[in-house]
Structure 1
Amino acid sequence: MIVQIYTAQSAAEALNLARCGVDYVGLTPTDIGLPGQISDATAAEAVRALKGVAVSVALSVSADLDEIERMATTVKPDVLHLCAETGAVSVESVRQLRRRLPDLKIMQAIAVGADGDYELAMEYAGVSDFLILDSVTEDVSGVGAAGVTHDWSRSARIVADAGIPVILAGGLSPDNVAEAIEVVRPWGVDSLTHTSRHFGDGKFEKDLDLVEQFVRAAKTTRVFA
């Protein structure tokens, strides 16, 4: 089971996550007010630190292909996580990004519970390397960082039919990740809100004890056909 954790806010924090057993370390290089956002320069430093240690993932909520390409070529992550509002980056736009950034893997976010989520997932599965199935909130731009679960039966259907690796996200914690894995049977799981120590005003840092608990729960859960 692959474990992805958002959001590292420095190279040191990214390495600490990797030491906890995190496989994919999420970074948020932007300046629009997203949770845990960092500068492109800080994100690039974290990517360099993670080389050979863990997979680096940088998200974008932009629908502007030039802006996405600029961030990706500056930060140079292993994986580009596209999580703009549902449909804002079309399937054809993802194809264009693949041509522009041929060495970069693409993870496409799907808002589970939105109309047509299954159909959208099947379309994006044809142009993406991974899907990430996430919840949405009106408080945060794009798909994700909602801190709440969604209908896992809808995610399970997508996982069964996608034909590519799928990461389950949305309100996962050390307490519910094992159940989520048993229900959905994803390739990987993701956590942001419930593996963080929150300070108010949107500020937080990763709680390494919770991260270790999450990693242990995820990686010891066995799903049998």
Structure 2
Amino acid sequence: MTSAAPRILVIDDEAQIRRFLDIGLRAEGYEVLLAATAAEGLALAVTQSPDLVILDIGLPDMEGHAVLAELRQWSQLPVLMLSVRDAEREKVRALDQGANDYMTKPFGIQELMARLRALLRNRPGGPDVSPRYDDGRLGIDLARREVSLDGALLALTRKEYAVLELLFRHAGRVVTQQQLLREIWGPSHTGDSQYLRIVLGKLRQKLGDDPADPRWLKTEPGVGYRFLAD
């Protein structure tokens, strides 16, 4: 392989598995990134632009399914899930959530390499949606779950961050009130629009965003809200 060899990110808390994969992948000419936790793995996924992720389900700080969900919010890079759980429902769950393949531990290195080659051949083209936004005033970093205004971090509540995050992930498109309520408060709260109005009001206050002349959060009357990306 050349210097443009695919870069593989391995997220697994077992040191023995990480060493095994590091040696095996490098022997095949791949570049390798190693992470022992979900937080490390997500940070590397953002900063190092891997071509493929090998993701263990049983991580100490976050379940692999949750890591996959985070990745799929902004990236379609191939993900191969690893797990000691061999039940069919586990495989179906991972694949339904966006995994491209699933292998049960222990596994053979040659089979793994064959699956990686297939995933890399069939990986989707086109750029991923950026997990970061910075227009010179407002900064949003999905990987770090941080929001800043004029360089200073904002102290947002969980609901305020969740609303801003969901709107940002659909930047330029209208997100209905029902969708926001369902995804953030739950399906039993789709009629509780007052919750959403209160959180939007506080979020706008912290951003200094005038609803009459919005810079970032625009109300679409009777429908929902839109994040105005620069």
Higher RCO, Cα 8 Å, sep 6+: 1
Normalised to the residue count of structure 2, the TM-score between the two structures is: 0.34
Larger Rg: 2
Q: If the length of structure 1 is used for normalisation, what is the TM-score?
A: 0.34
